[in-house]
């Protein structure tokens, strides 16, 4: 046996009830619970760009990401809308009446636990602790979706972009990664689809912040915040700065 075997599914979240260090994310599942879930799940791998499931497909399983990033999106007549970027320790594969409500594709190479819903339901009926963990995680998902809506309600492209970068940075910190630089998990068009902008507008917003020396980008996937105060102002207010 290896020294650190994979213990089983892991759910990371901020506790909705307990007061603690701001945004302290922790592992919700105990070792026993992880082992329990491991017994009913299988490990699956997806190549970058691969479709995991599509909106409307019969939902047989939920997924828990071990590594990589998944894009959850909906296909519309006029292009895609990205609902969320799903990271390690997150869950995806929500269903409504037995069908997935959105599509999912691997934004990077992905390794995940695949948890059949039938088995999951059985376990949830038995183990109240597990239910509570799931409730906590769902609360977090709900808050994130509401944050997304808040972002989309902002009227200026630069504000939306700044809020998004702020979000990525927060997630990075919560994951314990270095946060000097913000890492973009996906390409421009996916970000634009998340922000409700066209790629062209996103590009311009990026240019605006860059030329104002508020941010700088090392390459297409790495952004650094140079002027925190100005950045915050763009993220918070709608009006353009002086």
Residues between 160 and 219 that touch a copy of itself (CB under 8 A): 196
The 58-87 contact track toward a copy of itself, x by CB under 8 A, reads ----------------x--xx--x-xx---
Strand partners, 73: 82, 103
CB of 240 to DNA, least distance (A): 4
Instruction: Provide φ and ψ at 229, rounded to 5°.
Output: -65, -50
Structure tokens at 51: 């479709």
Binding partner of 229, given DNA, a copy of itself, none, CB within 5-8 angstroms per partner class:
none
Of 236, 155, 153, 160, whose CA–CA distance to 205 is shortest? Answer: 160
Within 126-155, the residues that bind DNA by CB under 7 A are 155
Q: b/e map of 36-60 (b: 16 or more CB within 10 Å)?
A: bbbebbeeeebeeeeebbeeeeebe
Strands 79-86 and 110-116: unpaired
Backbone angles phi, psi at 98, to 5 degrees: 80, 0
Q: Does 216 bind DNA (CB under 7 A)?
A: no
Sole window of 33-41, 44-52, 149-157, 174-182 interacting with a copy of itself (rule: CB under 8 A): 149-157
- Indicate which of DNA, a copy of itself, none lies near residue 219 (CB less than 5 to 8 Å, by partner kind): DNA
> Interacting stretch for a copy of itself, rule CB under 8 A, among 26-34, 96-104, 174-182, 211-219?
96-104
How many helices (H) and strands (E) the chain has is answered by: 7, 15
Among 218, 220, 228, 229, binds DNA (CB under 7 A): 220
Residue 100 and residue 117 in contact, taking contact as beta carbons nearer than 8 Å = no
**Cα separation, 16 vs 12, whole angstroms:** 12
What mask of x and - would describe binding to DNA in positions 184 to 213, judged by CB under 7 A? Answer: ---xxx------xxxxxxxxxxxx------
Backbone angles phi, psi at 218, to 5 degrees: -70, -45
Contact residues for DNA, defined by CB under 7 A? 78, 155-158, 187-189, 196-207, 219-221, 238-240
Contact residues for a copy of itself, defined by CB under 8 A? 14-20, 22-23, 74, 77-78, 81, 83-84, 94-98, 101-102, 117, 121, 124-129, 131-132, 134-135, 138-139, 141-143, 145-146, 148-150, 152-155, 196, 236-239
């Amino acid at each position: 046996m290896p020294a650190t075997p994979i213990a089983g599914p892991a759910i990371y979240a901020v506790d909705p009830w307990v007061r603690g260090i701001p945004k302290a994310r922790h592992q919700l599942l105990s070792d026993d619970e992880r082992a329990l879930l491991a017994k009913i799940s299988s490990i699956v791998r997806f190549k970058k760009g691969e479709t995991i499931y599509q909106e409307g497909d019969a939902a047989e399983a939920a997924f828990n990401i071990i590594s990589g990033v998944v894009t959850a999106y909906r296909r519309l007549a006029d292009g895609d809308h990205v609902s969320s970027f799903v990271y390690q320790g997150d869950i995806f594969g929500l269903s409504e009446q037995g069908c997935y409500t959105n599509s999912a594709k691997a934004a990077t190479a992905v390794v995940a636990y695949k948890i059949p819903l039938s088995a999951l339901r059985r376990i949830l009926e038995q183990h109240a602790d597990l239910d509570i963990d799931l409730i906590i995680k769902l609360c977090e998902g709900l808050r994130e979706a509401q944050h997304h809506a808040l972002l989309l309600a902002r009227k200026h492209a630069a504000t939306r972009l700044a809020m998004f970068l702020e979000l990525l940075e927060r997630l990075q910190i919560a994951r314990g990664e270095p946060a000097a630089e913000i890492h973009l998990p996906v390409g421009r068009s996916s970000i634009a689809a998340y922000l409700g902008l066209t790629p062209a507008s996103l590009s311009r917003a990026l240019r605006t912040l860059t030329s104002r020396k508020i941010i700088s980008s090392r390459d297409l996937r790495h952004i650094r915040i140079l002027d925190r105060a100005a950045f915050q102002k763009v993220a918070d207010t709608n009006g353009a700065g002086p």
